[in-house]
Amino acid sequence: MTDRSAVSTITGYFYQFDRSILSILALTGDNDSVAIECIEDIDVQTATETTAVQCKYYEKSEYNHSVIKPAILFMLEHYKSGLTAGRPEIQYQLSGHFASGQNKLALPFDIGFLKSNFLTTTSKGKTIRKHEELGVSDAELEGFLKLLSIDVNAAKFDDQFRSIIESLAEEFECSPFVAEFFYYNSALRVIKELATESEEARRVITRKAFVKRIDTSSYLFDEWFIAKLGMDKYYLELRKEFFASGVNVSPVERLFIIHLAGRSYSRSTVKMLLKTISRKYSKLSKRDAKPFSPYVLLVGIGESELVGLKQELHNEDVRFVDGYDFKGAQFDAGSISRRASVAGPALRLFCNLTEARQTFLSFRRSREIYEFYSSEPVEDFGDVAINHTRFQVPKYEDINKII
């Protein structure tokens, strides 16, 4: 029971986050805004009105008035306090998805139904009428009902998600895959960041600002997104989209940045990964008009371990270069980027980020960077012509499942 409850809670959070994303994308004005977790779950602010929205998701539960009663009570309290304080009126919207029982709620209803089903409770033989406690008159209740809208037939989780992907694909003129794996993930991250801000003012975002924040060419993936999608599917889709070209690998300057975790570091595992990259992303036969081979930068590896790793690669006849032509030499970007041939190099290993940045900024031809990180990626190289794609992979050992 506990596990099912936890799953339902997580699904509810994602449903609310998704509703927030959809609410922002549905805004018509660039400066219209949405506030996360302020008055209600979502507060929508346009040039003409404010709507406080509360979401309920009970995919396996039957609708009963008692389920939405607390939300309506809270809205009435806010409405009454606004009247007392002289605040402008706002709209109140309750949106919920239930497995069944929606026919129990006939809309619209009058204040008599409101009082008996949502504002009155009985406990230990005592009847409590919330509207009387708050001092809300019948005329004020009529006014509240005019501002209140209830939808107990809200979209299912999957249907709402598909609507988001369609909206993102239209917004960014991209495929559904790109909309889901890139922009939706980024949108989810932004909503999470907004929801956890301590100050209400920082939990507000305009449509224009939201679109700008999620429109990133580097595609930063997020742990929540991976957890939601499932690790195996995440890796499979990345492989299909980015690394399934096989024999048709293009002859560009291609750099793999791999972040290594200290505790799980294994020299043999890293060697296997380097050999895989070399084998799949090198074209060195006589038939190749433009022979090429990949670059690799290992982040999080000590200098002495890097020397030991290179020594074993050398002992195992892996033809690599690192930009140092003799003992005591300075790094030479021209050396590590020397023209490839049948004789090699099959792999080009940078010793640090500075060398990689220096070399790639010196090129005037097509450049691609594929970065696999666990927590924090490296900074951009500073050249918008470089296609720098980042993938969040908690375990570097899993990179083989992607490339």
Q: What's the number of CA atoms in the CB half-sphere (13 Å) around residue 401?
A: 14
The DSSP 8-state label assigned to residue 377 in this structure reads P
Residues 238 and 178 reside in one and the same domain: no
What does the pLDDT read at residue 402?
Answer: 87
Q: CA 93 from chain center: how many Å?
A: 27
Range 180-196 burial, b when 16+ CB lie within 10 A, else e: bbbbbbbbbbbbbebee
Q: Give the end of a domain, one of 156, 182, 214.
A: 214
Residue 44's identity, in one-letter code, is V
Using the predicted structure, report yes or no on whether residue 4 has a pLDDT greater than 50: no
Using the predicted structure, report yes or no on whether residue 399 has a pLDDT greater than 70: yes
Residues 75 and 205 reside in one and the same domain: yes
Compute the distance between CA of residue 266 and CA of residue 274 in angstroms, rounded to an integer.
12
Q: Which domain holds residue 254?
A: 223-401
Q: What percent of the chain has pLDDT over 70?
A: 92
Compute the distance between CA of residue 114 and CA of residue 401 in angstroms, rounded to an integer.
57
Q: Answer for the pair 32, 47: CB distance below 8 angstroms, yes or no.
A: yes
**For 295-310, what is each residue's pLDDT tens digit?**
999 999 999 999 999 9
Residues 308 and 206 reside in one and the same domain: no
Using the predicted structure, report yes or no on whether residue 40 has a pLDDT greater than 70: no
Residues 200 and 65 reside in one and the same domain: yes
**Mean pLDDT across 94-119:** 92
CA distances from 13 to 23, 195, 232 (A): 15, 11, 23
Compute the distance between CA of residue 75 and CA of residue 118 in angstroms, rounded to an integer.
11
Residues 230 and 187 reside in one and the same domain: no
Pairs from 1-9 (Cβ < 8 Å, separation ≥ 24): 8/58, 8/59, 8/60
**For 311-355, what is each residue's pLDDT tens digit?**
999 999 999 999 999 988 999 999 999 999 988 899 999 999 999
Residues 93 and 125 reside in one and the same domain: yes
Q: How many domains does the chain have?
A: 2
Residue 93 token pair? 């919207």
Global pTM? 0.60
Q: Which residues of 175-272 form beta strands (DSSP E)? A: 204-206, 253-259
CA distances from 172 to 162, 216, 225, 251, 384 (A): 15, 11, 20, 28, 19
Residues 307 and 160 reside in one and the same domain: no
Residues 286 and 366 reside in one and the same domain: yes
Q: Give the end of a domain, one of 152, 182, 214.
A: 214
**For 257-292, what is each residue's pLDDT tens digit?**
999 976 778 999 999 999 999 999 998 888 877 889
Q: Give the end of a domain, one of 184, 214, 244.
A: 214
Residues 341 and 378 reside in one and the same domain: yes
What does the pLDDT read at residue 2?
Answer: 41
Q: Which of 143-157, 180-194, 238-252, 374-388 has the lowest mean pLDDT?
A: 238-252
Residues 82 and 151 reside in one and the same domain: yes
Residues 186 and 145 reside in one and the same domain: yes
User: SS3 for 380?
Assistant: coil
Residues 242 and 319 reside in one and the same domain: yes
Top pLDDT among 301 and 392 is at 301
Contacts of residue 153, Cβ cutoff 8 Å, sequence gap at least 6: 97, 102
**For 173-227, what is each residue's pLDDT tens digit?**
888 877 887 788 889 888 888 888 888 888 899 999 999 888 864 555 555 566 6
